[in-house]
Amino acid sequence: MIFHSLNYIFLFLPVTLILYNLSSLNKIRNIILILASYIFYAWGNPYLSLLLLSSSIIDYHIGKKIDHINQISDINSTQENTDKLVNRKKSLLIISIFFNIGLLFFFKYWDWFFGVSILALSKLGLNIFDINSVTFQHQIQVPPGISFYTFQTLSYTLDIYKGEFKAKKSIVDYFAFVAFFPQLIAGPIERAKDLLPQLSKFRKPITSEMAEHAFFLISWGLFKKLVFADNLGHLVERCLENIETPGLGLTLLIAFSFQIYCDFSAYTDIARGTANLFGIQLKRNFLTPYFAINPSDFWKRWHISLSQWVRDYIYIPLGGNRGSKLKNTLTVLITMAIMGLWHGARKFFPIWGIYNGLLLIFYRIIPVDKYLIKTFGNIKGKIVAILIMYSFTLFGWLLFFSRDNDDFISILNSIFSTFSLLSASKELIISFFGISYGLIIFCLPILITEFIGYRFNLEFVDIAKKVGPISKLIIYLLIIYGILFIGSRGSYDFIYFQF
């Protein structure tokens, strides 16, 4: 089920809210949330819910066993017993890791791995299969949200293993934590210490102010998705269809950069707003990312929950900032390559991750932003630093967007031929401006709202709450008008559903 479907807006969400608020018992409320979440997840394919169920059951029991060992270790602290318990803990953790990563591997990487293996064997003269019949394209259906909920359940087990969190005794609370439908498909990736305590306690009925904030988040998210992201998606498609036109490669990348941001942040806004209706707070996942002045700043603003996850569970365990410069460089590259692979087996994903790792390393060696601020002053220096960082980000989106070498080369050729527009035919010039005008129409309003958020260090929704009643009414009317009359009719799925 998708957030912007009529079934969700007018049937699923209202019915779930009514049933939820009819009960005064927290356990019953969480059972309602679990049932609603499984219906939400299984809407298109009921069998996929079995994966979610199995992941929840396994990590719940492993978490309990690891926590039990932690408690025994505190009481029974002889060296022999400690060694045995540590080994048992490690074995349980390995089972959890292998199961969760195994799910990801099978559904997201098996086709690629199988194809590469057959190709390698054929090079050795072992032609087990007809090499011409082997495909490297993804054939297995990826269960929606699998990358998100496996990381969420895995972090639960890892936190218990490290002694940073105690296992939840209530299986109902734990199942609600894993399956909570607002953030199930595309995040944010929540930590047990943040979400489980909220689910474990009774939530009082939300106030009118909280309800207003929730509905504004949902409506603003729908507006960003249907008006900005989906219309920019049409623009990206037109650019790709006419990519031989000089300059359209740059138009495509700029349009895609705003499309993926509006699409993904819209999902987060709707997820947070929906969670608020149930008295639950989810973390912010975006914070004006295109106003970042360096790569480190960008990853503190873009997909924040994933950035924090790979930092805490991959980067720091691998050594973090400790050790030699060479070791730290390798740690950064490995971490970012894994972040790229998290998105899928398409060859440009890990390259995109490594590229971002190289950017992080480059800025550590040469702090471009600091030099610019020192040379041109705080305001001018930051403006130039933002533009340079956005340019680097655009090249990253070229890697992320490209499905194959042909996409990458054709877009790159179009970018490098931009200046040839000066001598191009009248038809090509008309084609370029006829397609590119959409950038101004859809990107300028985004930039204005983002700048307001950046300037006041607040979300646009928080700023909108502070204006007077007339201004607030105008904003609501503009949002409703935009959704009804400007919003794309041929709606796209959320981009991050594929991950």
Is the predicted pLDDT of residue 435 greater than 80, yes or no? no
- What integer pLDDT is reported at residue 453 of this predicted model? 85
Please tell me the pTM assigned to this model.
0.91
- What integer pLDDT is reported at residue 128 of this predicted model? 60
pLDDT tens track for 119-173:
776 767 666 655 555 555 556 778 888 999 999 999 999 999 999 999 999 999 9
> What is d(CA 272, CA 434) in angstroms, rounded to the nearest whole number?
37
Residue 237 is which amino acid? E
- Comparing CA positions, the residue from 96, 65, 82 lying closest to residue 166 is 65
- What integer pLDDT is reported at residue 203 of this predicted model? 82
C-beta separation of 142 from 498 below 8 A: yes
In this predicted structure, which of 68-72, 110-114, 309-313, 422-426 has the lowest mean pLDDT?
Answer: 422-426
> What is d(CA 430, CA 413) in angstroms, rounded to the nearest whole number?
19
- Which pair of structure tokens corresponds to residue 302? 């873009």
Q: What is the mean pLDDT of residues 33-51?
A: 90
- Comparing CA positions, the residue from 308, 287, 252, 326 lying closest to residue 458 is 287
- The Cβ of residue 433 has, within 10 Å, a number of other Cβ atoms equal to 12
pLDDT tens track for 191-235:
999 999 999 998 888 888 889 899 999 999 999 999 999 999 999
Is the predicted pLDDT of residue 60 greater than 70, yes or no? yes
> What is d(CA 191, CA 281) in angstroms, rounded to the nearest whole number?
12
- What integer pLDDT is reported at residue 174 of this predicted model? 97
Task: Give 250's contacts (C-beta < 8 A, 6+ positions apart).
Answer: 414, 415, 418
- The Cβ of residue 62 has, within 10 Å, a number of other Cβ atoms equal to 24
- Three-state SS for the chain is CCCCCHHHHHHHHHHHHHHHHHCCCHHHHHHHHHHHHHHHHHCCCHHHHHHHHHHHHHHHHHHHHHHHHHHHHHHCCCHHHHHHHHHHHHHHHHHHHHHHHHHHHHHHHHHHHHHHHHHHHHHCCCCCCCHHHCCCCCCCCCCCCHHHHHHHHHHHHHHHHCCCCCCCCCHHHHHHHHHCHHHCCCCCCCCHHHHHHHHHCCCCCCCHHHHHHHHHHHHHHHHHHHHHHHHHHHHHHHHHHCCCCCCHHHHHHHHHHHHHHHHHHHHHHHHHHHHHHCCCCCCCCCCCHHHCCCHHHHHCCCCHHHHHHHHHHHHCCCCCCCCCHHHHHHHHHHHHHHHHHHCCCCCHHHHHHHHHHHHHHHHHHCCHHHHHHHHHCHHHHHHHHHHHHHHHHHHHHHHHHCCCHHHHHHHHHHHHCHHHHHHCCHHHHHHHHHHHHHHHHHHHHHHHHHHHHHHHCCCHHHHHHHCCHHHHHHHHHHHHHHHHHHCCCCCCCCHHHHC
271 pLDDT band (50/70/90 cuts)?
very high
- The Cβ of residue 330 has, within 10 Å, a number of other Cβ atoms equal to 15
- Comparing CA positions, the residue from 439, 494, 435, 442 lying closest to residue 227 is 442
In this predicted structure, which of 259-273, 277-291, 356-370, 478-492 has the lowest mean pLDDT?
Answer: 478-492
Helix axes 405-416, 378-401, angle to 10 degrees: 140
Q: Among positive and negative, which fits the CA dihedral 464, 466, 472, 474?
A: negative
How much is the mean pLDDT over the chain?
88
For residue 77, CA distances in Å to 73, 160, 412 come to 6, 19, 62
Angle, vertex CA 365, rays to CA 361 and CA 368, nearest 5: 95
Length reported for the chain: 499
75 pLDDT band (50/70/90 cuts)?
low
Question: Which has more pLDDT, 278 or 419?
Answer: 278
> What is d(CA 348, CA 76) in angstroms, rounded to the nearest whole number?
51
- Which pair of structure tokens corresponds to residue 210? 């909280």
- What integer pLDDT is reported at residue 105 of this predicted model? 87
187 pLDDT band (50/70/90 cuts)?
confident
Q: What is the mean pLDDT of residues 45-62?
A: 90
Q: What is the mean pLDDT of residues 392-415?
A: 94
- What integer pLDDT is reported at residue 420 of this predicted model? 67
Place of tokens 């006829």: 434
In this predicted structure, which of 111-125, 215-229, 332-346 has the lowest mean pLDDT?
Answer: 111-125
- What integer pLDDT is reported at residue 76 of this predicted model? 60
Q: What is the mean pLDDT of residues 174-196?
A: 94
- What integer pLDDT is reported at residue 80 of this predicted model? 62
**What residue segments make up the domains of the chain, in order of their start?**
19-203, 210-294+367-498
In this predicted structure, which of 17-31, 81-95, 291-305 has the lowest mean pLDDT?
Answer: 81-95
Side-chain half-sphere exposure of 2, counting CA atoms within 13 A? 17
pLDDT tens track for 471-494:
888 888 999 888 888 887 666 788
Portion of the chain with pLDDT greater than 90, in percent: 58
Is the predicted pLDDT of residue 423 greater than 70, yes or no? no
pLDDT tens track for 77-107:
666 677 788 889 999 999 999 999 998 888 8
C-beta separation of 145 from 185 below 8 A: yes
